[in-house]
Amino acid sequence: MKSVVIEQPGKLVIQERQLQEPEAGEVRVKVTAAGICGSDGHIYHGSNPFAKYPRVIGHEFFGTIDAVGAGVDAARKGERVSVDPVVSCGTCYPCSVGRPNVCTSLQVIGVHRDGGFSEYACVPAKNAYTIPASIPDAIATMIEPFTIAANITGHLKPTKEDVALVYGAGPMGLTVIQALKGVYGVKQVIVADFVLERLTLAQESGADLVINNSNLSLPEELKKLNISPTLIVDAACHPSILQEAISLASPAARIGLMGFSTDPCTIIQQGITSKELSIFSSRLNNGRFPQVIEWIEKGMIQPEKLITHRFPYTDVEAALELFEKDQSSCCKILLKF
């Protein structure tokens, strides 16, 4: 089988590897499609602190089960599945309180262990979620990025009364925007980004108001409009954003963070406590695949709106380059296997 391997930072090869047999409790997925995510590029360039090399990248993928390991129902062969990349121990404290996404021995498929940019991938059977026939392959490939939105909104508990502000209209911001509008019916969603084309995508995904804060001051714009957001999501993930969000937030607002920056950020505690703000962080997803599958079946989200490009996996290097260099034309790229 062919696999996309990062042999060491900066070195990507499409390698012929021996087809693996699924171990006990595993299924083998014949991969049909996979999505490119920012973190794939980080592993490629050596800026993901969790990655070990060589590594088959890819954690957003879909395919068909073609073999099962011991203890797995053979009837699963032929099932169309999307794979949850979160592999957890099931017994540590976070696992015991329903937070397997921060398991003390967390293994993310495509990061800590080999992933889905490969003709075949062996994964734990319970990570392979059956996809209803009504959901096309490309949409099923987009489930994982929407589980990120399901997870953060699970913490933030949006309501119809909320006025939400989303920083960043990249793939992550767009999944959050679609969830806020399509799933929770949030009254108003305001989106800030520096890239005009991304703000257009935000509008297409349901944003009520978009602000290009590369040339406008977001605090001043919101002040003019007399808007104090009751819910803020930082999907741009620059360390400077948290303090701005704290100062813009309405009293009793909730703020959601998803960034992994290692740079310090300065925040003023009084700004949090005087408004009794709640600040949540969110990492990956805790068993949210069924929830997103239901969102898609009910027509609450439109993952296809994020897909801007499709490439054969043999062009993965060109696809990664486009993804990283052209934020104005590029959102989600799917690789076809």
Instruction: Single out the residue of 154, 173, 256, 287 in contact with ligand NAI (rule: CB under 6 A).
Output: 173
284 binds Zn ion (CB under 5 A): no
- The answer to whether the bond into 219 is cis (omega within 30° of 0) is no
Calculate the CA dihedral of residues 337, 61, 86, 284 and round it to 10 degrees: 130
DSSP, res 132: P
210 is a site residue for ligand NAI (CB under 6 A):
no
Torsion angle defined by CA atoms of residues 331, 178, 142 and 256, in that order, rounded to the nearest 10 degrees: 90
Should residue 258 be labelled a site residue for ligand NAI when binding is judged by CB under 6 A?
Answer: yes
- Contact residue for Zn ion among 14, 89, 227, 307 (CB under 5 A): 89
Q: What residues numbered 70-99 form the site for ligand NAI, per CB under 6 A?
A: none
> Counting runs of H as helices and runs of E as strands, what totals does the chain give?
11, 18
246 counts as binding ligand NAI under rule CB under 6 A: no
Residues 106 to 145 in contact with ligand NAI, rule: CB under 6 A: none
Minimum distance from residue 156 beta carbon to ligand NAI (Å): 13
* Region 283-322 residues binding ligand NAI, contact defined as CB under 6 A: 283-284
| Contact in structure between 199 and 212 (CB atoms under 8 Å) | yes
Q: Where are the beta strands (DSSP E) in the chain?
A: 2-8, 11-16, 26-35, 55-56, 61-68, 80-83, 86-87, 107-108, 120-124, 128-130, 163-167, 188-193, 209-212, 231-234, 254-257, 278-281, 307-312, 332-336
**Binding map of Mn ion across residues 2-41, x = CB under 5 A, - = no contact:** -----------------------------------x----
Applying the rule CB under 5 A, the residues between 34 and 93 that interact with Mn ion are 37
Compare residues 105 and 214 and give the one whose CB is closer to Zn ion: 105
Q: Phi/psi of residue 31, each to 5°?
A: -75, 135
The site partner of 171 among Mn ion, Zn ion, ligand NAI, none (C-beta below 5 to 8 Å per kind) is ligand NAI
- Is 259 a binding residue for ligand NAI by CB under 6 A? The answer is yes
Q: Give Cα separations from 215 to 193, 203, 221, 249 (angstroms).
A: 10, 19, 11, 21
> Contact, 205 vs 178, CB < 8 A?
yes
Binder among 55, 181, 198, 254 for ligand NAI (CB under 6 A): 198
Residues 92-111: x where in contact with Zn ion by CB under 5 A, - otherwise, as a string:
x--x-------x--------
Chain positions contacting ligand NAI, by CB under 6 A: 38, 148, 167-173, 192-195, 198, 213, 235-238, 241, 258-260, 282-284, 327
